[in-house]
Copies of this chain bind each other. A is one copy, B any other.
């Protein structure tokens, strides 16, 4: 607990605060000063760990990607025990939607905030996140014995993104059910 992984409290506090504010209020709307104040850190400590705001944004997206993927895949595995197949994706998303601070996908929001063209680094991280999710779903579809798991994943991704955005816009509790039905349609089409 000494040299191998310093795990500095200051850096961690900055990152925690950044995750909360960047996700909850947006990248551009969140000022450095606010992150510094709410993480109880000195300005120079901040700039020692993150030379610029952009570096912090990139670190936030990277962290968010790993945390989200871990949570989502675990939720799918859990849900697939009681509801096997692609429909488990809808249950995993429904679990996420019940978060009090749900505000959609951090990567979609980040790209939506970026102008055209999106900040190259932000766009690349977001594209990488979505590609990894798609690949994971393709592998999961393969495990579910679906034919053409890659095409199934492409179609399921449309439903997944649709659910995420639509719940962000409407907060309609029926969305997981609609998504589940669609995913079952996809699964049936790739099974028979």
Contacts and interface: CB of A to CB of B under 8 A. Distances in A.
A166 B155 contact: no
Interface string A151-173: 10011011111111110111000
A130 interface: yes
A28 B30 CA distance: 12
Secondary structure type dominating chain A contacts: helix
B158 A127 contact: no
Contacts of A146: none
Number of copies: 2
B179 A115 contact: no
Contacts of A166: 130, 157-158, 161
A181 interface: yes
A109 to B, nearest CB: 4
A152 to B, nearest CB: 10
A169 B111 contact: yes
A84 to B, nearest CB: 20
A185 B185 CA distance: 7
B130 A170 contact: yes
Interface in A106-126: 107-109, 111-116, 126
Q: Which 4 A-B pairs have the closest CB atoms?
A: A162-B162, A158-B162, A25-B115, A112-B112
26 contacts: A24-B115, A24-B116, A26-B112, A26-B114, A26-B115, A28-B29, A101-B116, A108-B112, A108-B169, A126-B169, A127-B170, A130-B166, A130-B170, A151-B178, A154-B178, A158-B159, A158-B166, A158-B175, A158-B178, A158-B182, A159-B182, A161-B162, A161-B165, A161-B166, A182-B186, A185-B185
Given A127-B170, A182-B182, 10 more contacts: A107-B169, A127-B169, A154-B174, A158-B158, A158-B159, A159-B162, A161-B161, A161-B166, A162-B165, A165-B165
